[in-house]
Structure 1
């Protein structure tokens, strides 16, 4: 199990997220040609694009995974109907996105308003559905090798496109968006070939409406849950825009959050590998499997805390190495707080994957949407008082809420084995403690950081060995 977890996590890390992750390797080149204002415009556009993101697939991912595991002989036919329905909906959704972007694009980007809209909505309307369906198939089937091929190729192309558009043509934020759109198209082509011609999962546009509506009863309750991702990850930049925060300060925050996104992408990769493993363990339905599942979550939690702590410990040096812009280098302190907040994920999976497997999706909003709304409310309260830095702390608090609040609900407790304890309070305190420690140590001398790194690695290996998952 541990071999599969690590190998699949690495492959998924190079999957659909690679066009974004690849950007870290060329930061020293492109940051010389990007300003805080460029990052600010990208941040505002991303924030408003995400405003409707919870509606993009109408929550159909949950019926997809349930169908795959529960109807092994009919899942392809059902997926084809899902594909047809979501393909039609994606066009409608893209028009909604276009209208919103037209209204909110920053004044500094008015000259490129039409280009910004097209580069952001065309991939949604034409490409995203195919990419999502094919990548989910390989995820659920635990066959990630093709994802590895696509990710490597698209990653290389994306890096080249960013260099050409930002460095050579000096298109700034527009070059970034153009590279992203072209990369999405290339991914679409590479995923469409196996999905439509090898696996024969082609969309049925004359889908069974009655069946789709019945599945939406399971899917739609997940929309508030999915929408929480926006409220937690992007709404802060929308709030800053509404409150009139200077575009340059907004850009510094957006750059810092970019590093948080890199950590999130890594977490998503692990989550894609973990999902099938947790589902299989829950499907066994016995105490031994439940204990294995608990140990897997503990193993992951130790890994997340250790890796994030070490990354944040060296965050100042990473910014100096990767950011070829003195003004932008000052954002490392914000990145530390955001990165540490993403330690919530393993405990979050322990709750969310269970609720989805037992089709208790109507309760997801109590965990995720509440945390997202809390983030928005706290931002409106504290940003006017303490400035844009406050958004990092409110995000940290809200991420921990979404990660740990689910353990308090009876719906979760009813689906667990009573004697298998996840000790959420212990892990919550540990994350907060490590965050405080790394904030104190972030500017310490290099020699001390080396010593702390060695001690952390040794302690993490000893702790993780106890819970290392086995087949």
Structure 2
């Protein structure tokens, strides 16, 4: 027994530092997301659908405004700058200065046109103040975390991420329960404040630390470098965010906040599989980049991607099959009427996987303008479809427009990746799109099975049996991914 423990310990110690860091980062992300999901049943049982709708509309506007005001400085140019410049402290403090100037200008504009702004986004002044604090302070945390990832310093970042999540979720639950006993308090405001206060305190500390360590706020050379690479990705990031949140904003406008609350909880449930995809995508990227750099053969990548995408498709299908039970655990009977949203949303989430694996090829070749084009096109399609159909058919339509949009986004990235690689196949495209068609074909009829539990449980049993039979293929792929060295430049 002791020898087995020593052998396991040695294997863990000998895992390459880059691979070990990646695994820890993924686990920290899973824990953070898991805590959010675990706390959902508490909030859905205390807060009304209207109040949950308020919180989700805040999150939508907060993320969108943060991307615009933050100039997308934490994506695109950051990792390249970490490789390009020796003075990493100086670079980070200077772009923190740039993001702060942008945030201050936005704050000034807000106070000059406060009434117009509030009428446009339709949330309380209190919630806007939290957004203003986020756009000013949160970049410090993002820059610090991105540097930790780049340098594979997984210990500090993982500890900070997990502790911050535990404190935020714990404080949120405590404050909402306490506030529910006081009818004068807005539960939406309490929850938003409680889930932002810990990250904001950490951000203040990091803001001061990064400025002192870098010793410069204005550096025109660094600013030009960051903006040149980030500006194309600003439009991509904004478009991607619009694609993610436009359904909720339009549901608020046409159907009211209570429907936003219902839709958001169902969307959260349907996107639980993203926990799995986040880990899969991060593990695929190093292999893909090695293939494109001609370090390994393409057939190896095809086998890995086929296995992992198949596993992810089965995960999405199981989530759809288990929807009634998951809603009973995470929410209340109020949300059961919207159970029929799960199949189209969960299937749409699967297509983000196809979008990602083809977009990764464009990212390798630094074709950020192509990525921007597909994101803007998809966002426009989604907004137009929601605008046309939500007023006529209600908020349920948003689930199907989301599915359609992600299918189009996947197809666009597929064709662009082929063009950029001279028509050469990187993946087994026929297999991947075959899996997609199969998933759509078997997922949509599940809507009819929600009233026939015995038949649904039989299908669940067969699906789980299939996973057990094929488990060795998946485990072997995982072992390959963990055992290989990750190139530090990726």
Question: TM-score per shorter chain, which class?
Answer: 0.7 to 0.9
Matching residue of 2:118? 102
Deviation for aligned residue 1:342: 1.4
Is the aligned partner of 1:223 residue 2:234?
yes
C-alpha distance 449-248 of structure 1, shift in aligned 2 (>3 A): same
What SS is found at the alignment partner of 1:220?
Answer: helix
Matching residue of 1:236? 247
C-alpha distance 92-203 of structure 1, shift in aligned 2 (>3 A): farther
Distance 1:2 1:293 in 2: 20
Distance 1:152 1:53 in 2: 23
Matching residue of 1:179? 194
Gaps of 5+ in 1: none
Deviation for aligned residue 1:381: 1.6
Deviation for aligned residue 1:336: 3.7
Contact 1:83 1:204 in 2 (8 A): no
Distance 1:214 1:193 in 2: 23
What SS is found at the alignment partner of 2:71?
Answer: coil
Matching residue of 2:135? 124
Deviation for aligned residue 1:331: 3.1
Deviation for aligned residue 1:329: 3.8
Matching residue of 1:429? 437
From 19, 23, 34, the equivalent of 2:47 is: 34
Distance 1:9 1:416 in 2: 34
What SS is found at the alignment partner of 2:219?
Answer: coil
Distance 1:306 1:7 in 2: 28
From 261, 265, 270, the equivalent of 1:251 is: 261
Deviation for aligned residue 1:137: 1.6
What SS is found at the alignment partner of 1:90?
Answer: helix
Contact 1:82 1:203 in 2 (8 A): no
Is the aligned partner of 1:302 residue 2:310?
yes
Contact 1:218 1:359 in 2 (8 A): no
Matching residue of 2:56? 43
Distance 1:10 1:320 in 2: 32
In the TM superposition, what whole-angstrom CA distance separates every residue of 1:116-146 from its partner, at most 9, and x where no partner exists? 11222212212x1111112212222333333
Distance 1:419 1:336 in 2: 30
Matching residue of 1:143? 153
Contact 2:30 2:275 in 1 (8 A): no
Is the aligned partner of 1:85 residue 2:98?
yes
Distance 2:218 2:55 in 1: 38
What SS is found at the alignment partner of 1:330?
Answer: helix
From 316, 320, 326, the equivalent of 1:312 is: 320
C-alpha distance 77-173 of structure 1, shift in aligned 2 (>3 A): same
What SS is found at the alignment partner of 1:371?
Answer: helix
In the TM superposition, what whole-angstrom CA distance separates every residue of 1:242-289 from its partner, at most 9, and x where no partner exists? 33x1332232112212324544465445545655x2575267x11625
Distance 1:101 1:43 in 2: 18
From 391, 399, 403, the equivalent of 2:406 is: 399
Deviation for aligned residue 1:177: 0.4
Contact 1:154 1:186 in 2 (8 A): no
C-alpha distance 175-269 of structure 1, shift in aligned 2 (>3 A): farther
Matching residue of 2:216? 204
C-alpha distance 328-309 of structure 1, shift in aligned 2 (>3 A): same
Residues 274-285 of structure 1: pairs in structure 2 closer than 5 A: 275=285, 277=286, 281=290, 285=293
Gaps of 5+ in 2: 1-14, 181-185, 485-490
Residues 313-328 of structure 1: pairs in structure 2 closer than 5 A: 313-323=321-331, 325-328=332-335
What SS is found at the alignment partner of 2:444?
Answer: helix
Distance 1:211 1:464 in 2: 44
Matching residue of 1:385? 392
From 331, 342, 357, the equivalent of 1:335 is: 342
Give the superposed CA RMSD: 3.4
Q: Which has the higher contact order (CA 8 A, sep 6+)?
A: 1
Distance 1:427 1:388 in 2: 28
What SS is found at the alignment partner of 1:83?
Answer: helix
Distance 1:163 1:362 in 2: 42
Distance 2:46 2:340 in 1: 22
